[in-house]
Structure 1
Amino acid sequence: MKRAQAKPILLSLERASATGLVEQIVAGLAHLIAQGTLRSGEQLPSVRRFGTDQGVGTSTVVEAYERLVARGLVAARRGAGFFIAYQSPQSPPTPVFNPPAPVIDSAWLLSEMFADERVPIKAGCGWLPGKWLDDDGLHQAERRIIRAPGAQQVGYGHPYGYAPLRLTISQFLAQWSLEVPIDQILTTHGATQALDLIIRTMVKRGDTVLIDDPSYCNLIAMLRLADVNVIGIPRTPTGIDTNALENLARLHKPVLYFTTSVLHNPTGTSYTPACAMRVLQAAERHGFWVVEDDIFRELGQPNDPMLAALDGLQRVIYVGSFSKTVAPSLRLGFIACQRELARQLVHTKMVLTLTNSEITERLVHSALTEGHHRRHVENLAAALLHAQARVNARLLEAGLTPFATPRGGMFSWAKFDRTELSARDIADLARRDGIWLAPGDFFHLTPPDQPWFRFNVAYSDVPELVAFFRGL
């Protein structure tokens, strides 16, 4: 029995339109399906016939049909052609999602803040505005990756990471007198995954771990998930309280100490050389590892000490990242450590996530080596230092007390002691005025007595912030 032929379809295509022919065909057929002219189960004309009727090439028709298949409007049947997919006779209206007002708590800071665009002044966020990043350098790197052979873009990467990138990281670390071969370097999906791999590999339930207090809020959350005993070492304007470190290490016998030597999040402070030496001496005396979370190294001062370089990776595990200076969306971090420990960390990484995206690693490598990155970082560091000085002046004007004098980096840490309100209460009031604040509670193991806040200096140099705090 001869199969009935599909009825011809004629669309009005405008070749001079800014809208391409493929998009016009897709829109035209989708409209006919929506109004019921083309019904469920009805066969579309063959690719060749539709192309002849419309005066377009078969490749144009194929692409249009495949887009309709991808949208669920058309079904492809092998050997038979393309058919209108089943359409519900009365599709319910698409529900409109109206998100509730955000609750300013640690869960919001860890997750929802990244997607919530309703509050315009992001004074408490943890990333830089797009205009502060090197768009031109990144676009050049993207174009270079696109021109690479396809075989370099489709396979799994190396378990340790893309070798030319690890060589670039090795050269980067050598600028601070840390000589490390590439088999002691592994790449990670951002510095946060690097910290997670270290926790999973080196810590067991019930162990004691030391952290800076205040500290990176994601690290606090990860350690709590690991069910370990977490003890805070107070931060000071010159690093940490080394006497507290000595006493607590002697008493609790920690396995690890997570600390930030340069431009600490959230306080913005850096170690002095004397502080760095005392930390390494305590680690040697009491037998704990130091995890140096050093993602802001490029934005710091040239003479800021690097624990890993002073120690030679004997007791220090070094964590770095380029997400802050290249682009947060690339999520590229790395670990430098002893060779055997690197092998163990790679095993953990492969168990959890397999390899990193080599396309991302090639893109970062290209961005770091194409010639723009060094000047971009110099300009960014200078801009942040100036912004921090301006923001600290605004905070003083508004009645807040900055924790330390500006040293650069993204953050200022300040307390507001002219109120009986808690930091979270103040943050909730600020949200209603269109300002996001990051209360100090999120960064401490236990809430502080006074309301502290972390300010991102790239977003906080605005008069609305001063007006808000003056109005409390």
Structure 2
Amino acid sequence: MVGTMRATGGWDRSYESQTGTDMYSYVENVYSVSVNRLNCIGNSHCPDTMVQPLAFSLNRAQPEALVDQIVREVERALQRQTLHAGMRMPSIRSLAKAHGISTFTVVEAYDRLVARGTLVARRGAGFFVAGAADSRDTGPTSPGGTLAVSTTASEVTNAWLLSEIFADDAIAVKSGCGWLPDSWLDEDGLQGALRSLSKGPGAHFAHYGHPRGYGPLRQWLARRLGELSIDAPPEHIVLTHGATQALDLVVRTLLKPGDTVLVEAPAYCNLLAVLRLAGLNVVGIPRTEAGLDLAALEQAAQTHRPRALFVNPALQNPLGTSLTPAAAHRILQCAEQHGFWIVEDDIYRELAPAGTPSLAAMDGLSRVIYVSSFSKTISPSVRVGYLACSRDLAHEIARSKMVAGLTSSEINERIVHAILTEGRHRKHIERLSDRLTRSRARLITQLQSHGVTLLAQPEGGMFVCGSLPQTSRPARELAEAALLESIMLAPGEFFLAHNEPCHWFRFNVAYSDDARLFRFLDRAAAGKLAA
């Protein structure tokens, strides 16, 4: 490896000075690690003669993206039984070469197929067929003329929660989803920003953006972070395609397969998927209403020598609780003592009570990498996130960003900047917070009246976590039964590092005020669901 990244954010250039290898080569190495662990090229255990060929063509003239075409053709091959469970897929490079496309296109298609549960990735061996393709896109219609829910119980998986729920408009009650309704977001601000940009010079629609992202938005963020006592000049900030890409870029830049990382238990489910896909050893640290279990954190740091801790200090997803200043200080002390990074996922900061501590503010971005986004408060369709860290590390992460997918969308970043500087965003956040507060209080009362016990009293945000009686069936089984009734639930095991069975769910306060949900919970608690 070309040098090493120190936990303080500094770069060890000893190898570079000895060999003349530039920093771009380091980033190429970073990305090749993540590609090669999913790619069996050059692996003696997966010669090309063992690879299942794929006979299909891609049409660049179609409006459908090449990634979508690959996903569609692989799933059609499963439906036709050309592919069967356990078959090895072509390597990333061989498929790219066969169709004259970029390896990045194949990586994205394979990642999507893994997320859908169609393929599985085995480190050092490649991709393999997991099972039959999902045919819900062409599912039957109900007697009323709407698309019927064709999801079967076996399809309620983490991958389904992370991908298929976004495409399945037939589900009537989306209590387990992770976003807000369109009507709750700043639709007027979004439309106004689009109109404003469309009237301006057209040059900004026709070129790549800056590797770190749109400069004026980074300048605005630097001022905003300064208000939070986080000293992050624009050159310390990298804009990304949402917070998930920011987390992925941190993983690509700082970690390698086999490294141990610590997460909260429970934790953000998509983070867990990113870490698993990277081949990391994930260790959960209990997070309760009282905060992170600091004794367990210290023990895990001594036992596992982790490279990083991923933590939600403000309005943690899924619990909705926040760290105390004392707990935040102890976490920073532990990281300093044991030499690991802290990745602070802070996307709910705008909705959190004033005074909620920030690890980045307390640390000064020495050991902390700060991640946030605008998906929850402006629009998930805009997909603008960002991270802030030391200047040297920001440089390396920007390099990884360019290698993995080039620049983020400057148009989207301009839209967000226009909304933030138009002057109405603060009022929108106030209205949204008030609406969430009212809906959360109402949902808590409803859940408790139907026999649901809260895991924690949320301090704000979008979610409430609650458990049915231990005598009921496991949450995963109940989620499968609920889906057959067009009710989407998010069982607690999706938020645990190793999918441990449990009896609790995460409820979205904006989507859970529905009598069908509470009738289902009553029957589930009483054991009156069909086996």
TM-score range relative to shorter protein? 0.7 to 0.9
TM-score by length of 2: 0.70
**Are 1:382 and 1:408, in contact at CA under 8 Å, matched by a contact in 2?**
no
Q: How far off its partner does 1:367 sit?
A: 0.8
1:460 to 512, 516, 520: 512
**Are 1:412 and 1:455, in contact at CA under 8 Å, matched by a contact in 2?**
yes
The corresponding residue for 1:216 is 268
**Are 1:385 and 1:406, in contact at CA under 8 Å, matched by a contact in 2?**
no
User: Residues 399-427 of structure 1: CA distance to partner in whole angstroms, max 9, x if unpaired?
Assistant: 11111223110111111125331112111
Q: How far off its partner does 1:386 sit?
A: 1.8
**Mapped pair 1:366 → 2:418:** yes
2:305 to 253, 274, 295: 253
Q: How far off its partner does 1:215 sit?
A: 1.1
Alpha-carbon RMSD: 1.6
2:461 partner amino acid: G
1:98 to 129, 139, 147: 139
Within 5 Å, which residues of 2 pair with 1:175-254? 175-254=227-306
1:98 partner amino acid: G
Secondary structure of the structure 1 residue equivalent to 2:228: coil
1:461 partner amino acid: D
Q: Which has the larger radius of gyration?
A: 1
Secondary structure of the structure 2 residue equivalent to 1:111: helix
**Mapped pair 1:317 → 2:358:** no
User: Residues 61-91 of structure 1: CA distance to partner in whole angstroms, max 9, x if unpaired?
Assistant: xxxxxxxx999xxxxxxxxxxxxxxxxxxxx
**Are 2:476 and 2:501, in contact at CA under 8 Å, matched by a contact in 1?**
no
**Mapped pair 1:296 → 2:348:** yes
Secondary structure of the structure 2 residue equivalent to 1:118: coil
**Are 2:470 and 2:503, in contact at CA under 8 Å, matched by a contact in 1?**
no
**Mapped pair 1:411 → 2:463:** yes
**Mapped pair 1:161 → 2:161:** no
Within 5 Å, which residues of 2 pair with 1:108-147? 108-147=160-199
TM-score by length of 1: 0.78
User: Residues 374-417 of structure 1: CA distance to partner in whole angstroms, max 9, x if unpaired?
Assistant: 10011111211221111111111111111122311011111112
**Are 1:238 and 1:275, in contact at CA under 8 Å, matched by a contact in 2?**
no
User: Residues 279-329 of structure 1: CA distance to partner in whole angstroms, max 9, x if unpaired?
Assistant: 111111111110000111101111110110011111100001011101000
User: Residues 125-153 of structure 1: CA distance to partner in whole angstroms, max 9, x if unpaired?
Assistant: 01000010011111111111101101122
Give the count of matched residue pairs: 380
User: Residues 121-180 of structure 1: CA distance to partner in whole angstroms, max 9, x if unpaired?
Assistant: 100001000010011111111111101101122111001110100011111112211121
In 2, Cα distance between the equivalents of 1:109 and 1:163? 34
Q: How far off its partner does 1:225 sit?
A: 1.4
Secondary structure of the structure 2 residue equivalent to 1:406: coil
1:264 partner amino acid: Q
2:423 partner amino acid: G
In 1, Cα distance between the equivalents of 2:497 and 2:483? 24
The corresponding residue for 2:13 is none
The corresponding residue for 2:388 is 336
Gaps of 5+ in 1: 1-68, 72-95
Secondary structure of the structure 2 residue equivalent to 1:394: helix
The corresponding residue for 1:151 is 203
Q: How far off its partner does 1:458 sit?
A: 0.5
**Are 1:417 and 1:450, in contact at CA under 8 Å, matched by a contact in 2?**
no
**Mapped pair 1:107 → 2:148:** no
The corresponding residue for 2:323 is 271
Within 5 Å, which residues of 2 pair with 1:17-56? none
In 2, Cα distance between the equivalents of 1:199 and 1:447? 21
**Mapped pair 1:396 → 2:481:** no
**Are 1:414 and 1:453, in contact at CA under 8 Å, matched by a contact in 2?**
yes
Secondary structure of the structure 1 residue equivalent to 2:283: strand
Q: Which moved more, 1:302-311 or 1:171-180?
A: 171-180
In 2, Cα distance between the equivalents of 1:195 and 1:175? 23
In 2, Cα distance between the equivalents of 1:105 and 1:150? 44
User: Residues 251-278 of structure 1: CA distance to partner in whole angstroms, max 9, x if unpaired?
Assistant: 1111100010011111111111111111
> What stretches of structure 1 move > 3 A for 4+ residues in a row?
447-450
2:151 partner amino acid: A
Secondary structure of the structure 2 residue equivalent to 1:204: coil
- Structure-2 change in CA distance of 1:70 and 1:268 (3 Å): closer
**Are 1:197 and 1:345, in contact at CA under 8 Å, matched by a contact in 2?**
yes
